[in-house]
Chains A and B, each alone.
Chain A
């Protein structure tokens, strides 16, 4: 898999550290915390995930990837996604 890093261009996925599903959002209070920590949709198909470009720009990315085919559909900086 090759990930198109917005800073560094297309790079081998080996340069990145995987950090899982980007969908769960940390809740402000106790409610929903169990879901956030442990429960996942675990979709078969497109999923938005966090990848950390440890051996590149050290940026956190949100990468869209198909779990059925491993096709990379796009990548954005996580900071920009949050805004």
Chain B
């Protein structure tokens, strides 16, 4: 079946029966998952950026708010940006007011996402374990765990023996940073990053949203009052009632085209994956005394990463000192990975805000809305960011769990400084 540009019919649902039917016909009759749309003249809302966030925003606009004249513009192909460069971890183990409620909302959306989208996004709640290595760190984790409990996210403070039961392969005897225990977040885990993008694109497309690939936004159309009334793109001008920016990593560059300067620096964060191995890791493990976290993909590769390279970058690749640092940290806590061979490494560009927390807000330009500054939190925040950005675009009011993510919080002093990193505010 060829799908026209204005097609809004329901897509065939995935079920055990459809899988069986297609298996019997040799999998030759699957329809394409979403329409590869061409731009129309205008839309009620145009979302710039076809990553997980942009597509989720479009989906919730159509599904929750009934706004279906929506386009998602992607300069490359969907899922080819940061949606394909993260380490796929989902968790709600924050602490501060303004953050924890948001990530708990995201966790709730993750837990029912497959049923919601009728798409297997492979959410696997295999647990996230944050190790602590000192009395002070234990006390801090107890406090963080209490905040998680108060928000319904669940948290367990484990002692050394309990950690040993979950992860007996850790180096408990190492003298420099002995493992005292861990904060265990059972509901956390991983999801399949590509499937998240494809699932939202499919569901949004089925509701009438145009997902437009290879369409780079080069500027904004403004009316006499300065309000944004559309975008200039590599495929022509597109008018819009409202424009949403959802391009974390490149937010400053796009905002500059609307005359805005943001409290954001772009930094590179590297990640690594080993060859496929038999199951060895029970969940996600974070080293509390170095730059290292690790999980195992369903294909068997050990997916791990560490800290930022630490300097501004748009290069989508990092340098060797951080590779060395991450691997040393990994060997310090989990010597068994020394026998695994590294398959590949890559770098993603992160919007690092001055306080380490994201921005979902209106901008000084009427008609222009901003979803940016995701630091390391973008992937796990995908469903909630889409939900909250859609709420903002549809109603012009902040969603209750995203009220803290204001653009002007840096001017008013209402920072959410959970973990500021990378960016260099001139605070001295």
Given contacts A41-B252, A67-B266, contact A19 B314 (CB under 8 A): no
The answer to whether A68 touches B265 (Cβ under 8 A) is no
B411 within 8 A of A: yes
Residues of chain A contacted by B321 (CB below 8 angstroms): 13-14
The answer to whether A67 touches B424 (Cβ under 8 A) is no
The answer to whether A68 touches B315 (Cβ under 8 A) is yes
Secondary structure at the A interface, as helix, strand, loop or mixed, is mixed
Partner of B252, one of A13, A14, A40: A40
Which residues 1-39 of A have a CB within 8 angstroms of B? Answer: 1, 13-14, 18-21, 24, 26, 34-39
Given contacts A34-B411, A36-B426, A40-B265, contact A47 B312 (CB under 8 A): yes
Closest Cβ of chain A to B254, distance in Å, is 11
Partner of B261, one of A13, A20, A39, A67: A39
Partner of A42, one of B310, B312, B411: B312
Chain A positions 57 through 72: 1 when the CB is less than 8 Å from some CB of chain B, otherwise 0: 0000000010111100
Chain B positions 86 through 122: 1 when the CB is less than 8 Å from some CB of chain A, otherwise 0: 0000000000000000000000000000000000000
Q: In the complex the two chains form, what is the Cα distance from A28 to B343 in whole Å?
A: 53
Partner of A1, one of B319, B411, B423: B319
- B side interface size, CB within 8 A: 26
Q: In the complex the two chains form, what is the Cα distance from A18 to B321 in whole Å?
A: 14
Residues of chain A contacted by B261 (CB below 8 angstroms): 35, 39-41
Residues of chain B contacted by A1 (CB below 8 angstroms): 319
B427 within 8 A of A: yes
Q: How large is the interface on A (under 10, 10 to 19, 20 to 34, 35 or more residues)?
A: 20 to 34
Closest Cβ of chain B to A56, distance in Å, is 16
Closest Cβ of chain B to A2, distance in Å, is 10
The answer to whether A19 touches B424 (Cβ under 8 A) is yes
Residues of chain B contacted by A67 (CB below 8 angstroms): 266, 312-315
Residue of chain B at shortest CB distance from A50? B424
Which residues 46-97 of B have a CB within 8 angstroms of A? Answer: none
A82 within 8 A of B: no
Partner of A44, one of B314, B410, B425: B314
Residues of chain A contacted by B262 (CB below 8 angstroms): 39-40, 42
Residues of chain B contacted by A26 (CB below 8 angstroms): 426
The answer to whether B426 touches A24 (Cβ under 8 A) is yes
Residue of chain B at shortest CB distance from A69? B315
Closest Cβ of chain B to A45, distance in Å, is 8
Given contacts A42-B252, A42-B266, contact A70 B315 (CB under 8 A): yes
The answer to whether A38 touches B354 (Cβ under 8 A) is yes
Residues of chain A contacted by B411 (CB below 8 angstroms): 34, 38
Residues of chain B contacted by A41 (CB below 8 angstroms): 252, 256, 261
The answer to whether B266 touches A37 (Cβ under 8 A) is no
Residues of chain B contacted by A49 (CB below 8 angstroms): 311-312
Closest Cβ of chain B to A35, distance in Å, is 7
Which of A18, A34, A70 has the most chain B CB within a 10 Å cutoff?
Answer: A70
Chain B positions 198 through 227: 1 when the CB is less than 8 Å from some CB of chain A, otherwise 0: 000000000000000000000000000000
The answer to whether A44 touches B253 (Cβ under 8 A) is yes
Residues of chain A contacted by B319 (CB below 8 angstroms): 1, 13, 70
Residues of chain B contacted by A34 (CB below 8 angstroms): 410-411
The answer to whether B314 touches A40 (Cβ under 8 A) is no
B263 within 8 A of A: yes
Residues of chain A contacted by B427 (CB below 8 angstroms): 37
Q: In the complex the two chains form, what is the Cα distance from A36 to B427 in whole Å?
A: 9
B392 within 8 A of A: no
Which of A40, A47, A49 has the most chain B CB within a 10 Å cutoff?
Answer: A40
Q: In the complex the two chains form, what is the Cα distance from A20 to B425 in whole Å?
A: 9
Please, could you name 7 A-B residue pairs with CB atoms under 8 Å apart, sorted by A?
A1-B319, A13-B321, A34-B411, A40-B264, A40-B423, A42-B312, A68-B314
Q: A34-B410, A41-B261, A42-B264 are in contact. List 11 more A-B contacts (CB 8 A).
A: A13-B319, A20-B265, A34-B411, A35-B261, A36-B426, A38-B354, A40-B262, A42-B252, A47-B312, A67-B312, A69-B315
